[in-house]
Amino acid sequence: MHKTLKRAVTLIFLGICSIGPTSLLASAADPLPSWQDTQTKAAITAFVQAVIDPDNPRFVPQDQRIATLDNDGTLWTEKPLYIHVLANFERMKEQMQQNPSLKKQQPYTAIASKKLDYFKALYENQGLDSLVGQLMAVPYGGMTTNDYANWIRNWAKDWQHPKFKRPLNQLTYAPMRELITYLKDNQFQVYIFTADEGDFLKLFSQELYGIPPQNVFGSSVHRDFTMREEGTAITRAYRIQYINNWSAKARLINATFGHAPTLAAGNSNGDLQMLQYTSANGGLSLLVHHTDDKRETAYDSHTDKVMTNAQKHGWTVIDMVQDWRSVFSK
């Protein structure tokens, strides 16, 4: 071997040795690099390793290894409002520009006057069907499902978050995307169960999380089948069909799979029954706690019931400040 080449090879070898085999192995083996080395991370990896081990009492067969994850506040940011709701407001503003008379009727009056107490009152008075219908169904009523998808995709192209000044694909949580990959690498079937409209998230789930649209379940609007000269069409109606929140999540999960998830993750009271269903059947329930006001938004709104249950039943609580090295995906 030529002396110069031999020296180069020797230097490279010595450099690798100076790093140390343990460091190289740790770097290569860590499936969750955006997570701090805390008890939370250890609990997640220990659980996953247990359920994939045929000799472990907690073993779960591959065909039953299901993970169900909430989206808003669990996989991406949800403040000041759901991203989808911000899109719907833009749609309503566009409609009012085209037809100013809409400003005289709700929910357009509330948007035009920027008095969102109208929506808050509906929520507090349990007018949930009306609230969700007016926010999700009314702005796109009469649209074909193809036209709806095109409008949403065009909106997303140039949209940026009002607080973080980031586009849609940079608002997901890096640690949770790593968790999804880690679960899939260990033969979990990963699904999203969101209170938001499923048709909205289906447009982005593959790109954002590697989760195909058929694995996304959410709230839905009624659809009509219509015949036209140019062919058939599926048209969105003006009313809500299903609100996928609270006990409805657990019920839909059972109707879909026939059994509880192996792992579930959520962040609010709306995820309570899904997490209860998972935990009561031997699964791992994860609760994302928004404690980070510097990198994201700190809040405890609508978490009183789910946090109480997490503490009572020993669920794994993910503290953004303590458990995540970074928050947003780049």
Higher pLDDT, 5 or 317: 317
Distance between CA atoms of residues 236 and 142, nearest Å = 5
Report pLDDT digits (tens) over 149-163. Answer: 999 999 999 999 999
**Domain check: are 236 and 139 in the same one?**
no
Instruction: Indicate the DSSP class of residue 263.
Output: E
Of 158, 184, 214, the position where a domain reaches its end is 158
Radius of gyration of the chain (CA): 23
Asked if the model's pLDDT at residue 12 lies above 90, the reply is no
Within-domain flag for 315: yes
Question: In the listed set 158, 178, 206, which residue is the last one of a domain according to the structure?
Answer: 158
Residues 122 and 235 in one domain: no
75 and 87 both lie in a single domain: no
Q: Are 143 and 36 members of one domain? A: no
| Residue in this structure with the two tokens 């230097």, named with its chain if needed | 11
- pLDDT, tens digit, 9 for 90 and up, residues 197-250: 999 999 999 999 999 999 999 999 999 998 888 899 999 999 999 999 999 999
15 within some domain: no
31 cis-preceded (ω within 30 degrees of 0) = no
Domain enclosing residue 306, as ranges = 32-80+165-323
Same domain? 36 vs 179: yes
Tell whether 38 and 177 lie within a shared domain.
yes
For residue 290, CA distances in Å to 76, 78, 266, 317 come to: 12, 11, 11, 10
Identify the residue whose tokens are 């040795």.
17
Asked whether residue 116 is assigned to any structural domain, the reply reads: yes
Please check whether residues 269 and 131 belong to one and the same domain: no
The answer to whether residue 26 is domain-embedded is: no
Instruction: Please report whether residue 329 resides in a domain.
Output: no
Q: What is the pLDDT of residue 122?
A: 87
Q: Per the confidence metrics, is the pTM higher than 0.85?
A: yes
* 7-21, 136-150, 195-209: least confident range: 7-21
Tell me what pLDDT residue 174 has: 98
Predicted confidence (pLDDT) per residue in 298-318, tens digit: 999 999 999 999 999 999 999
* pLDDT at site 77: 98
Over residues 103-107, the mean pLDDT reads 95
Q: What confidence category does residue 5 fall into, taking pLDDT thresholds of 50, 70 and 90?
A: very low
Q: What is the mean pLDDT of the chain?
A: 92
End of a domain among 127, 158, 189? 158
177 and 230 belong to one structural domain: yes
